[in-house]
Structure 1
Amino acid sequence: MTDTPTASSASTAGSAPTAGSATSAAAAASGSDLHLDLPATGGRRAALMAALREAIRSGRLAPGTRLPPYRTLAADLGVARNTAADAYAELVAEGWLTARQGSGTTVADRAEPVAPSRARRVSPPRPIAHDLRQGQPDAASFPRAAWLAAGRRAITAAPNEAFGPGDPRGRRELRAVLADYLARARGVRTDPERIVVCSGFAHALRLLFDGEGAVLPARENGPLAVEAYGLAFHRGLLARAGVTTVPLPLDEDGALVGGLAGLPEVRTALLTPAHQFPTGGPLHAARRSAVVDWARGRGGLVLEDDYDGEFRYDRQPVGAVQGLDPERVVYLGTASKSLTPALRLGWMVLPDHLVDRVLAAKGEREAWASALDQLTLAEFIESGGYDRHVRRMRRRYRDRRDHLVAALAARAPHIEVSGIAAGLHAVLRLAPGTERSVLKAATYRGLAVDGLADYRHPLTGRDEMPATDGLVVGYATPPDHTYQAAVAALCGILPPPL
């Protein structure tokens, strides 16, 4: 049996080793820390073998796991070297372990964990064959090479202070680039000092509404008007912060903002003007002006969630509502749809009077986004890589939406695709009373897709806005090689015309 330490090295903070725990510096140097609890009395070899068998049987030591050399294990556990060597040798003979000269001792491949006999058996979930859930871009299209190149350039050119604590507003480089980009591409009127970098839209909501330092605390600001359809996750976040949300009905021209006049206790409205989520209609120009006028007259605010504003396929994207009045609109954007949600970068374009309050709510350091990611994104935008990526993805998503619409026209012409040609999802209108059965059929066939009912605000009155059956289909999620099959599977579960 070999006792050669591995080539890898790991450093662990530790206390002095005890007789019952293998966590010494020697084990750390071998690259294979191992924790085992041995009884204080009884035969040491038998106890060691029993502990190793139990760790393997339970799955804590998976097949292929490298064990520490027996000398290291013996020192850690306070047992004789021969005791550890004999235990290893016997477990190798029993088939629990494998030992090869030069490779050390590992858990045998066939030493699979045994499920406890009393464990309740749970049927495994049906595997997802096709994922058409909304919420994320095409992961395979992330521009890895261009992003890495931008990162190298950004980090090479970064000043030394960039690797220190930094500014709670976010890196100046990113805020300056964002101010230029948002003005050019989204019609936003701002300067770098009014931009605060955050970790995404949910983080922005928490800064505004959650906690003792919230910028817009519920006890002072009153209820928040939201669209009748939206993410339940965001409603839940607001509810946990003590914020009451009041739904605004929708039609094909977006939220019916005229209803705000009849809600005297409401001073803030959260909208998705460029592309209502999820129903798909943009906020009509007259309503855009009307909601800004309402905020001015009420001394309130409009929170503009521009979650996928760059992706419109039938015409140039409509500019941000923020451009109509930068002092009454908080503009919220992220890289989650344009690049990837894994980046965890977003930005708040704030009225001047809210900047210091948001910075105070953000606090000291812990809630800050990675400075290195910020530098990389700044370089990616400034070098033109971001624009090229957005244009490329705009073509890709337009083609995917076109394929979906064409497939429906051919196989289910009675199914309407609502909303404008934009974004990363489409809503398919279904006949009344059919949504639940269609979702069951989708689950049975391994198709993951969302129902429209899940997005409806529970306080939306049926007289104000009748409920509509439908599917929210994310056409950005499947990889290219499975997309046509995913659309075909979708068409296969749609109900026939009544």
Structure 2
Amino acid sequence: MPVGARLPATRVLAADLGVSRGVVVEAYQRLMEEGQVAGRGRAGTVVVAAPIPAPARSPDTGPRPPSAGVGRGATGAATRTADPADLFPSAPGPDIFDALRTAPARIDLTPGVPDLAAFPRAAWLRAERAVLGRLAAPDLGYGDPCGTPILRRAVAGWLARNRGIGADPAEVIITNGVSQALGLLAQALAAGGVTALGVEDPGSLGVRQHLDNWRLETVPIPVDAAGLRVDELAARNLPAVMLTPAHQFPTGVVLDGARRRQLASWARAGGLVIEDDYDAEHRYDRPPVPALRATLPEQVCYAGSVSKLLAPALRIGWLLVPRRYRDAVVAAKRNADLGNAVLPQLVLAELITSGALERHLRLLRRRHVQRRDAMIAALGRHLPGATVHGAAAGLHLTVTLAGEVTDTELAAAALARGVKVQPLSWHCRRPYPPGLVLGYAANTPSLIAEGIELLATG
């Protein structure tokens, strides 16, 4: 609409669209907060700014996603290609997720992506205004590298309510997501002489690549229907292990009671556990299991973030470590960036303490259940031979496929039809059935159903 145009009255537009008036009021409020429209009293709501259209880009000259990193010229620069097959090698390189992220797709079923359209913009803006209204000038200076005290208190409360962890706010270290938390831990472990640790298999390729980058040898430990095989971990005589016990990535299994007791015994005998609390809040069919850190504070390093709750772009996470590692981790954080940006920390603290984040989580759970059910139904219709794993929680499903199937080829064929998925084999180092990892949180049920149908036509 052009600048100066008048928007319909909220009651009129609600009637035209067949939606609640509250939906239209909220939409208008967001447009006002973003500076797109303004209220003019009896003159109604008018457009005061128009979005700037993105410049058109020629498909022949625009940038293309990088390949998997296998083709390099004499200068060492990565070659670039638009062929979907080149994005799904059997042995992906370190830039594979950058390449896949920029590859165009009409329906993106990439795992680990939350519903970004549901980001609570209005609540965030209200919290930001509240923070700025009471912010003192000294608060804009350099702060504690461990994070602002108000966010550390808010996170400690959040963990106590949602994960059963009793932590003093002084123990909380605010990080730039779980990724930085792992980097800080890797530096602290290396300083203590740890050069290898166990990781889940199947387990996250991205996490493995990140730990490899910090020169930590990652030793695969099998995962079965009960979670990590603790007996195999003990047999390897490793000093540390990293796992996702609440909702294992990518299989979705929960570390069961017997395995938790085995792991606790292993840790008390001198082992260190790194707990990535992946997707823990997103549990639908029963309450979340408590975090390992809740009962083993001196044997568990605990990492979490808001990347799956709000948005990865915020880059806000937290880390709890045993006392013997704290000084080394804090020093690594200080040397990395002097601490996270202060304003987003204060806004997030306001969201947590006001209850807005809890309300947002309840909204997401209802929405995710509908989308998960839509994906399971579509898989039943179009891929009846597939076995579905991990439906009780999280933002993704994993399916394993019978017969002679190469999942990288299937993923490439799906991308050629406009559907983006991840092959399960990327996350496996030992022999494992072929399969796909499918995210459902970021798409509507109708798009999910269409994406699975397109996937099955290959």
TM-score bracket, normalised by the shorter chain, equals 0.7 to 0.9
What amino acid does structure 1 have at the position aligned with 2:381? A
| Shift, 1:495, TM fit | 7.2
**Partner residue in 2 for 1:493:** 455
Of 434, 437, 441 in structure 2, the residue corresponding to residue 476 of structure 1 is: 441
Q: Distance in 1 between matches of 2:153 and 2:196?
A: 34
The answer to whether the 8 A contact 1:155-1:375 is kept is no
Question: What per-residue deviation string (whole Å, max 9, x for no partner) do you get for residues 123-174 of structure 1?
Answer: 7567522111112111110000001111111232234332111001100001
Matched, 1:306 2:268: no
The answer to whether the 8 A contact 1:295-1:301 is kept is yes
What amino acid does structure 1 have at the position aligned with 2:376? V
What amino acid does structure 1 have at the position aligned with 2:243? L
Q: Secondary structure at the match of 1:473?
A: strand
Matched, 1:131 2:108: yes
Question: What per-residue deviation string (whole Å, max 9, x for no partner) do you get for residues 15-43 of structure 1?
Answer: xxxxxxxxxxxxxxxxxxxxxxxxxxxxx
**Partner residue in 2 for 1:252:** 225
**Partner residue in 1 for 2:424:** 452
Matched, 1:279 2:251: yes
1:431–1:170 CA distance, 2 compared to 1 (3 A): same
Q: List alignment gaps of at least 5 residues for structure 1.
A: 1-108, 116-120
Matched, 1:438 2:410: yes
The answer to whether the 8 A contact 1:417-1:428 is kept is yes
Q: Distance in 1 between matches of 2:294 and 2:59?
A: 61
Question: What per-residue deviation string (whole Å, max 9, x for no partner) do you get for residues 327-366 of structure 1?
Answer: 1111100010011000000000122222222111112572
Matched, 1:175 2:152: yes
Q: Distance in 2 between matches of 1:443 and 1:144?
A: 31
Q: Distance in 1 between matches of 2:192 and 2:403?
A: 40
Q: Distance in 2 between matches of 1:385 and 1:273?
A: 27
Give the number of the structure with larger relative contact order, counting CA–CA contacts within 8 Å between residues 6 or more apart.
2
Q: Distance in 2 between matches of 1:113 and 1:491?
A: 27
Matched, 1:331 2:284: no
Q: Distance in 2 between matches of 1:443 and 1:218?
A: 43
Matched, 1:376 2:347: yes
Larger radius of gyration: 1
Matched, 1:316 2:287: yes
Matched, 1:227 2:222: no
Q: Distance in 2 between matches of 1:345 and 1:484?
A: 32
The answer to whether the 8 A contact 1:226-1:270 is kept is yes
Decide which moves more: 328-337 or 401-410: 401-410
Of 126, 135, 139 in structure 2, the residue corresponding to residue 162 of structure 1 is: 139
**Partner residue in 2 for 1:58:** none
Q: Distance in 1 between matches of 2:312 and 2:414?
A: 26
Matched, 1:392 2:392: no
CA RMSD of aligned residues (A): 2.4
**Partner residue in 1 for 2:326:** 355
| Shift, 1:485, TM fit | 3.3
Q: Distance in 2 between matches of 1:418 and 1:393?
A: 21
The answer to whether the 8 A contact 2:172-2:319 is kept is yes
The answer to whether the 8 A contact 1:281-1:420 is kept is no
Question: What per-residue deviation string (whole Å, max 9, x for no partner) do you get for residues 249-274 of structure 1?
Answer: 0111111112122122x111101000
What amino acid does structure 2 have at the position aligned with 1:232? L
Q: Distance in 2 between matches of 1:360 and 1:185?
A: 29
What amino acid does structure 2 have at the position aligned with 1:224? L
The answer to whether the 8 A contact 1:312-1:422 is kept is yes
**Partner residue in 1 for 2:399:** 428
Of 365, 377, 386 in structure 2, the residue corresponding to residue 415 of structure 1 is: 386
| Shift, 1:431, TM fit | 1.1
Aligned residue-pair number:
366
Q: Secondary structure at the match of 1:293?
A: helix
| Shift, 1:409, TM fit | 2.4
